[in-house]
A and B are shown apart, each in its own frame.
Chain A
């Protein structure tokens, strides 16, 4: 028979009003399904744990082992005391900061330009951005080596055109390193920024114009603030990737630009100094994590401050 509106009358009719029916069976069915789904993830987790987590954890351990094999913080102490380590970190941050800044200056206009194009043209131009992303980093670094070296393309053209007499030192120094890192990192900035810019509602710009804003004002007060989250994300990615960058600075820096990663590699390859290398690596990892953590808090804070407009 039908029951009236739920509540009073029916409860009283139940024989065991206390125990919720089937609750335990439902809970175990739920748990079983959840376990099965997570089981799908387990092969990947096993792979990553064995091949990455364990070795990196082992490095943490190694960094606290003295050369004699006992627990010691001598590697960290050495880093703190020797000025060459400080120089290495300064260089690393210099390169990362400069690369990020140049990428922002070059990448923002490009992303803006792309976001204004009609869809099909934009997709075509995006290939220009994606092609370097997909091309081997080694190939790109090699291309710059060929272009920038003393008898390279740029120097021979410049000299044959009479722009300068002596070959410019464009490689094996900071300049060459920056050219290479910017070239590699630019797509990493442009892609999230482009996505963010495309998501900006163009009606907002129309509204601003309607309310009396000049194009410059509209950009400065409406478009640019809305593009900031995408810009911050891209800049953060570039900065973090630069901190641990090895190949391009090693080739184009030619041993003159010592970054943390180069130092770690030489510690292992040349000196077999596992303690020093691990300690350096641990510090790099901790720094990277800290920066990521702080930045993510800041970015989310920005979104909240703007009234939760970004999600």
Chain B
């Protein structure tokens, strides 16, 4: 047990004296991760209801998901909306982050705050407000309306991610490029963008996830043919605990984890 007697920090407090801290920290981490993971084995339950551990293993809930036209259409809508949101919000966010970074005026600061407000305003407000506007504009239950609203919500996320990358980026490189004959646009495309590309990719993934996971606004403005997956899941949750949702949740967790791992692993796979 010699490790316990060794000092943990420069203040010479031993590991033994801090064992409670380690236990608590691990407990909290378990609390954060495990509940979501428990859904995974439960989704393979063969019974009518969820149980852990499943007495019978079966794929019936996955089958019911893939066989259902309603679920499939909702999934398709969510995927389409997610991709389109990423395609719209990412360039807009990158441009905005760059433009605001390069201008240091008070007006630029005000614009930054404006573009970050969608995160601060309670989502329910945005939900009903956009719903009301969409009713007037006939955009309710349309894919276009969905993409526009989701892009507005994803924009601050992309901006924050790209801004932080630009802040740590050595702007001298862009200045050198310009002194060597590149216009601002060329300097950005040839020098800056290649170096922040992983951050931009992360921003795009976050934009996709923001749209895919978005529930409150979609609850109001999506419906009918263009109801999102999250909306259908929410309604199913409120009515009864349909085990199909466990299967869908498992798939979502798998895809999200994959995306997370990819964005974390990419920067480390650089060629040199």
The answer to whether any beta carbons of A and B sit under 8 Å apart in the complex is yes
Q: Does B252 contact A (CB under 8 A)?
A: yes
Cβ-neighbour of A112 out of B21, B111, B131, B216 (below 8 A): B21
We find that the number of chain B residues with CB closer than 8 angstroms to chain A is 85
Cβ-neighbour of A114 out of B9, B25, B92, B219 (below 8 A): B25
List B residues 242-264 near A (Cβ within 8 Å): 245-246, 249, 252-253, 256-257, 259-260, 264
Interface of B is mostly: helix
Contact between A113 and B129, CB atoms less than 8 A apart: no
Nearest-CB distance from A151 to chain B (Å)?
7
> Inter-chain contact count A-B, CB under 8 Å?
251
Cβ-neighbour of A56 out of B125, B256, B259 (below 8 A): B125
Q: Does A149 contact B (CB under 8 A)?
A: yes
Which of A8-16, A72-80, A130-138 binds B? A130-138
List A residues 247-285 near B (Cβ within 8 Å): 247, 250-251, 261, 264-265, 268, 274, 277-278, 281, 284-285
- 12 inter-chain pairs at a CB distance below 8 angstroms, sorted by A residue, are A41-B111, A48-B115, A55-B126, A55-B129, A56-B125, A59-B128, A62-B132, A138-B213, A206-B11, A209-B10, A261-B122, A288-B120
Nearest-CB distance from A243 to chain B (Å)?
7
Contact between B125 and A205, CB atoms less than 8 A apart: no
Contact between A243 and B132, CB atoms less than 8 A apart: no
- Given contacts A41-B111, A48-B117, A142-B245, whether A130 and B260 have CB atoms under 8 Å apart is yes
Interface of A is mostly: helix
Q: Does B141 contact A (CB under 8 A)?
A: no
Name A's B-contacting residues (CB within 8 A). 34, 37-41, 43-45, 47-49, 51-56, 58-59, 62, 106-107, 109-110, 112-114, 116, 125, 127-132, 134-147, 149, 151, 153, 156, 183, 186-187, 202, 205-206, 208-209, 213-215, 218, 240, 243-244, 246-247, 250-251, 261, 264-265, 268, 274, 277-278, 281, 284-285, 288, 292
Closest 4 pairs (CB-CB, A-B): A244-B122, A55-B129, A40-B99, A113-B25
Nearest-CB distance from A60 to chain B (Å)?
9
**Which residues on B sit within 8 Å (CB–CB) of A43?**
92, 95-96
Cβ-neighbour of B99 out of A41, A139, A202 (below 8 A): A41
A151 to B243 CA separation, bound complex (whole angstroms) = 13
Which of B29-37, B171-179, B191-199 binds A? B29-37
Name B's A-contacting residues (CB within 8 A). 8-13, 17, 21-22, 24-25, 28-29, 31-33, 35-36, 38-39, 42, 49-52, 92-93, 95-96, 98-100, 102-103, 105, 107-108, 111, 114-115, 117-118, 120-133, 148-149, 151-152, 155, 159, 209, 212-213, 215-216, 219-220, 230, 233-234, 237-238, 241, 245-246, 249, 252-253, 256-257, 259-260, 264
